Amino acid sequence: MGMNVSGKKGAMADINITPYIDILLVLLIIFMVITPIRQMDLDVKVPQTSNDTEGAIDPSVIVVSIGESAQIAINQEETTIARLGAQLQEIYSARANKNMFISASAKLPYGDVVRVIDIAKGAGVGDIGLLTEIR
């Protein structure tokens, strides 16, 4: 606040805004410098393709397949939705690698795939990957 010295009585009610503008400009510069440094991304594991392993299936990889009529298979071995949780718990109880893949038909309702994911998480599966068909 400034004082009026021109002969009139009373205090002058003007606010000096110069320091506020200086602070605003400094904050603007700080945010402009920090914004490009911040990384806003998700960790995604992208599978690497190799031509020498075509057709060779690793036996340690668990793939749960869901067909068009909701038939379920664990590594080509048929099972039911009622027995899926117990079988997955039996498989993953002694494994250090808790990864699993789900291959589902594109015509299948989304809720059926989510139900299988929920059962797998309840059975102790860690990471779940979704397989797609390449056309």
Domain membership of residue 46 (yes or no) is no
What is this structure's pTM? 0.54
In a domain, 24, yes or no: no
Q: Is residue 41 part of a domain?
A: no
Distance of CA 53 to the CA centre of its chain: 28
Domain presence at residue 26: no
Give the domain extent around 95. 63-131
Task: Give 62's contacts (C-beta < 8 A, 6+ positions apart).
Answer: 74, 75, 88, 91, 92, 99, 100, 101
Instruction: Confirm whether 83 is domain-assigned.
Output: yes
Say what angle helices 110-122 and 81-92 make with each other, to 10 degrees. 40
pLDDT value of position 135: 47
Average pLDDT, the chain: 77
Residue 17 tokens read as: 């805004």
Beta-carbon count within 10 A of 76 CB: 8
Exposed/middle/buried for residue 115 (C-beta within 10 Å: 0-12, 13-18, 19+)? middle
**Total of domains in the chain:** 1
Residue 98: give its domain's CATH number.
3.30.420
For 11-39, the pLDDT digits (tens) are 777 888 889 999 999 999 998 888 776 66
For residue 125, being part of any structural domain is answered with yes
